[in-house]
Amino acid sequence: MSEITAPRSSRRRAVLTTAVLAAVALLASCAGPDAGSDASPSDTDPSASASESTASAVEQVTGDLVVFAAASLQGVFEELGTTFEEQHPGVSVTFSFAASSALAEQVNSGAPVDVLATASASTMEQAAAEVTDPVTFASNTLVIVSPTNSQGGVTGLADFANPDLTLAVCAVEVPCGAAASTVFEAAGVTPSVDTYAENVTAALNLAASGEVDASLVYATDARSAGDTVTTITFPEAAEAVNDNLIAVATAAPNPHAARAWVDLVLSAEGTAVLEAAGFDLP
């Protein structure tokens, strides 16, 4: 399985941890001259109680957070990861991006993961016993991408039946491959495929590098590739809309941070980033 990890710097964690300790010291000073007495400030001051609750929440969202996510979510989640670490000093986020089916298998095998985000409902279902309350937060559809200035002449889905072309789609075990099978069936096309890629990123790279005449990838991946590919839409894509789901792992080592991450993805800030990347929202 191909994995892409993005660990955050330990130096930054040290700086952020110092900031948290300073904030705790400040809250302690706000307890006033009676801090040494037996009575708690919250016993007499409602505002002190609220401050203590906020401080408690901040203290809970700390430590390491491990997020497993579909390869198609890499750009969006890395951007949100920066936001998350800014909002929660003391948290270090580590990602693993790969095919959803492979990630679900790792979760089922006991991998120490806090959050799982998949590119389809069926792959989230594969890990149903190990996650809690999955939520649909975005969706994606397929497009055709071909290398810029390609001589292959691909203009539509029917060209995937041409044995003279070099073509790639995702393996049927992963969400983009299952979607590809659906659109071929809907179009009545028997594809002549040369490469079954392990995930959508691999399928995109084959087209962007000119190794194939065309690939089927998600619309968001085509957008992220910019001018390196030519994008062709086709009507049968509407027959294979893949939902993205997110859930906290049942045995999450850091459940407070995991819940905070899910909240960020579902927030207005998170959905704005998803929409800008080309995802459709529920």
pLDDT tens readout for residues 190-221: 999 999 999 999 999 999 999 999 999 999 99
CATH homologous superfamily of 63-139+243-277 equals: Periplasmic binding protein-like II (3.40.190.10)
Query: Cα separation of 282 and 132, whole Å?
Result: 19
Cα–Cα dist 190/208, whole Å: 24
Apex 282 CA angle, 73 and 256, nearest 5: 60
CA–CA separation, 223 vs 219, rounded Å? 6
pLDDT-flagged residues of the chain (< 70): 1-59
Name the fold adopted by 140-239. Answer: D-Maltodextrin-Binding Protein; domain 2 (3.40.190)
Pairing of strands 63-70, 142-147: unpaired
Binding residues: 72, 100, 200, 218
Q: Would you give the DSSP letter of residue 193? A: -
Whole-angstrom distance, CA of residue 204 vs CA of residue 212: 10
Structure confidence at residue 57 (pLDDT): 56
User: In this structure, what token pair is assigned to residue 85?
Assistant: 């670490």
Q: CB count, 10 Å around CB of 17?
A: 16
CATH 3.40.190.10 boundaries in the chain:
63-139+243-277, 140-239
* C-alpha to C-alpha distances, 154 to 27, 164, 168, 181, 227, nearest whole angstrom: 64, 11, 13, 19, 17
**Binding site per annotation, positions for molybdate:** 72, 100, 200, 218
Which pLDDT score is estimated for 15? 33
Residues 277/76, Cβ–Cβ less than 8 Å: yes
What would you report as the CA-atom Rg of the chain, rounded to the nearest whole angstrom? 23
Provide the pLDDT for residue 161.
Answer: 97
Q: Which of 124, 134, 127, 158 is nearest to 144 (CA)?
A: 158
Helix (H, G, I), strand (E, B) or coil at 206: helix
